[in-house]
Amino acid sequence: MKLSMNWGTGIAIVYVTFACGTLGVVALATAQKTDLVSADYYERSLQQDRRREAVTRALALGSDLRIDPDVDRQSLLVTVPRAQATSARGTITWYRPSDAQADVVIPFQVDREGRQRVSLVGLRAGHWLLQLAWTADGQAYYDERVVQIP
């Protein structure tokens, strides 16, 4: 028995195969989880110049700004200059690039020595960005460090 097809049937098979493939790719793409860098990314982009100035100020602090792992590895010790100790206020953000739901924001309030202990308890192992944003004496500062939690 010989199978024969005419041109119309062949073209119909190609179009149906293409349409099914396209629908499959669309279904796969819409099922993927997509996290934005941040929920308010547009507003943040408008503040880019101020952020750059804050980063420059933080870099100018040099070794006076430190983030050291604590001996027990369950916390980090953040240190700012003593001159900022009484006025430094802001936020510390644990930013998880792979999962926006895991982000944690805590207040940044240092003691009289300019130090604050930041706990690692409850954070999943892996890649995190520690984002420090604070103001002291009317000036904004921003620093960001990569932290690998074992």
- Residue 50 and residue 27 in one domain: no
What DSSP character marks residue 62? G
What gap in Å lies between CA 67 and CA 98, rounded to an integer?
23
Q: Which of 128, 129, 150, 131 is nearest to 142 (CA)?
A: 131
Rg of the chain over all Cα atoms, to the nearest angstrom: 26
- Residue 79 and residue 28 in one domain: no
- Residue 104 and residue 58 in one domain: yes
3-state DSSP assignment of residue 80? coil
Written as six digits, the tokens of 21 are 């493939």
- Residue 50 and residue 98 in one domain: yes
Read off the CATH number of the domain in which 63 is found: 2.60.40.10
- Residue 93 and residue 22 in one domain: no
At CA 144, angle to CA 141 and CA 149, rounded to 5?
A: 145
* pLDDT range class, residue 139, cuts 50, 70, 90: very high
Q: Check if the beta carbon of residue 120 is closer than 8 Å to that of residue 150.
A: no
- Residue 53 and residue 16 in one domain: no
- Residue 61 and residue 25 in one domain: no
Which residue's entry shows tokens 């819409």? 30
What gap in Å lies between CA 144 and CA 129, rounded to an integer?
7
- Residue 16 and residue 89 in one domain: no
Average pLDDT over residues 122-139: 91
Q: Is the pLDDT assigned to residue 37 strictly greater than 70?
A: no
3-state DSSP assignment of residue 47? coil
- Tell me the residue range of the domain where 61 lies: 41-149
- Residue 125 and residue 64 in one domain: yes
Count of structural domains, the chain: 2
- The predicted structure's pLDDT at residue 94: 92
Is the pTM higher than 0.85? The answer reads no
- Residue 20 and residue 46 in one domain: no
Written as six digits, the tokens of 30 are 């819409």
- Residue 22 and residue 52 in one domain: no
Residue 9 phi, psi (nearest 5): -65, -40
- Residue 57 and residue 92 in one domain: yes
Q: Is the pLDDT assigned to residue 21 strictly greater than 80?
A: yes
Written as six digits, the tokens of 45 are 């982009």
Per the DSSP assignment, residues forming a β-bridge with 92 are 106, 132
Per the DSSP assignment, residues forming a β-bridge with 103 are none
